Structure 1
């Protein structure tokens, strides 16, 4: 595990990167060949992003200047 992100800007950047990864995976999926494992993986990615949002929201970290 990496060290906790210390600034709100870092947290937002992290979440943007994760969202972009999700969008890339979603764009790469062929609807004709998608199976249950693919959908489970997408749901897991969304769950991870939701958990990070909650974690970041609960941290007492000052915004960067």
Structure 2
């Protein structure tokens, strides 16, 4: 995959994460929602690390 496309994909995923984070109600958030957010963070971190390694 082209590096530019990878960066664009990463931006989209980050935006999706932020939207999801904003939509969660702290008073009603359950453990499953928090686990899903952590998984998304892990995926974003892996994508960023892959981009760094390709430099």
Please tell me the TM-score bracket, short chain as reference.
Answer: 0.7 to 0.9
> Hey, which bits of structure 1, 4+ residues long, moved more than 3 A?
none
Q: 1:21 is matched with which residue?
A: 16
Which of 20, 36, 43 is matched with 1:41 structurally? Answer: 36
Structure 2: state its 5+ residue gaps. none
Larger Rg: 1
Structure 1: state its 5+ residue gaps. 61-65
* TM-score (norm: length of structure 1): 0.74
Give me the CA root mean square deviation.
1.2
* TM-score (norm: length of structure 2): 0.86
Any idea what the Cα deviations from partners look like across 1:20-63, whole Å, max 9, x if unmatched? 00011111111111011111110100000000111121125xxx
Aligned pair count reads: 55
Which of 2, 6, 9 is matched with 1:6 structurally? Answer: 2
